[in-house]
Structures are given as C-alpha cells and as structure tokens.
Chain A
Amino acid sequence: DAGITQSPRHKVTETGTPVTLRCHQTENHRYMYWYRQDPGHGLRLIHYSYGVKDTDKGEVSDGYSVSRSKTEDFLLTLESATSSQTSVYFCATSGGETQYFGPGTRLLVL
C-alpha cells in the first residue's frame, strides 16, 4: 500500500469554526483525493488534485476547499464547519488505475 497518513485522526470542533485536515503521501503519486464516508452513501468525492496547484471539484464540494502546494501534501479545509459535515474523511492517492486510501479522520461538529 501507498504510504498515506492523515492528521488529525480525530477532531471535535464547534459549528462555524474553520477546520483543516491534512493528507501526506510518500509515494510521489500524481493524483490525490478527498472523500467523505457517511452511512448509506458509501464514499463520495469532495475534491481531487491532478498535480501541484491543480485541483477540481467532486460530487460534494460545497463548503470545502483544498490546496496542494507540494506533491506530497493535500489539505482539505472546511471554511465554516456545520453539523452536516460530521463524517469520516478519507484521503486517497493514485499513480494509475488504483486508488490507495489513508486511515481516515473522524470529524465531529457540535
């Protein structure tokens, strides 16, 4: 598996505060992704990146922004957290057809 770490692994925050989640990879993969997983919905793509400073929106991008200033790091920011953004967030990377996932970040917005 690709070396993918996510930080923090758990976070509790309050509604209206900004939150940034970090994904770090050591595989030099070109593509990086942020998903959220919610019961009954599987994995839904929030944003993805196809290179440094090259990003695009996924299926559920409202309320989220991303940045990729280095190949190895992909940041997901919740600009003003809402309770509907309580979820488990997964980062993934890909150098070809297969995506490899990080361990996830469990976010609770109170």
Chain B
Amino acid sequence: DQQVKQNSPSLSVQEGRISILNCDYTNSMFDYFLWYKKYPAEGPTFLISISSIKDKNEDGRFTVFLNKSAKHLSLHIVPSQPGDSAVYFCAASRLGNAGNMLTFGGGTRLMVKP
C-alpha cells in the first residue's frame, strides 16, 4: 500500500511556463514533506521542504503548497527552464520518528521544452 503517490509519471511543459507537480499521501501522521530532484546517473538532491504547520513555502522559482485536509501537496516551478528537466520525487516523514525515515513517491519525470 503506497502511502505517498505521484500519479503523473511524466509532465511536459514549455520553457517559461509554470510546471506543477502533484503528490498525494494517505497517512495523516505525516507532518513534514520534501521534494527532491534527480538527474540521470546522479543521486537525488534536496530541493525544498514544508512543515505541516505551514501551507506554503517558497524558495526562488520553487514553491511548495500543502493542503492537509486533502492530503495533497504540489510543487510549482515558475518560470520553468530546460535545466529543470529531471525526475522529481516527493517524500513524507513524521518528525521525530525513530530513524528520521522518509517515504517516497514513485517520481514524476519533468521535461521542459525550449
């Protein structure tokens, strides 16, 4: 039973437009959420995170929105650039859990076309 789901395996957007990547979770105990970006042949790199006490967190072109009632989070990239083409993973955690473990979604491949 997947507790974190990314229902879109791929997304294609035009350079300069907004990219919206979505993530749903089922475990209401999750209270910390992260997005990672992964290029081919590299490890995932941390992008942005949000605590459940917030509904929005912004870092430059990247904004994460959290809707706790819907158990849904999204990552907005504005404006999208060709260098943003990568696989994006969302992850969820219960702060203070033994091991600081994360549960990952299956990933969404973003392609930004010039």
Contacts and interface: CB of A to CB of B under 8 A. Distances in A.
A interface, over-half SS: strand
A101 B93 CA distance: 16
A32 B105 CA distance: 20
A97 B9 CA distance: 26
Give the bracket for the number of chain B residues in contact with chain A.
20 to 34
Nearest to B42: A103
Nearest to B4: A42
A97 B43 contact: no
A8 B44 CA distance: 18
A42 B106 contact: yes
A89 to B, nearest CB: 10
A43 B44 CA distance: 10
Contacts of B49: 97-98
Interface residues of A, number: 26
Contacts of B43: 4, 90, 92, 101-104
Interface string A72-110: 000000000000000000101010111111111000000
Interface of A: 1, 4, 31, 33, 40-45, 48, 50, 56, 58, 90, 92, 94, 96-104
The 6 closest A-B pairs by CB, nearest first: A101-B43, A42-B106, A43-B104, A42-B104, A101-B44, A103-B43
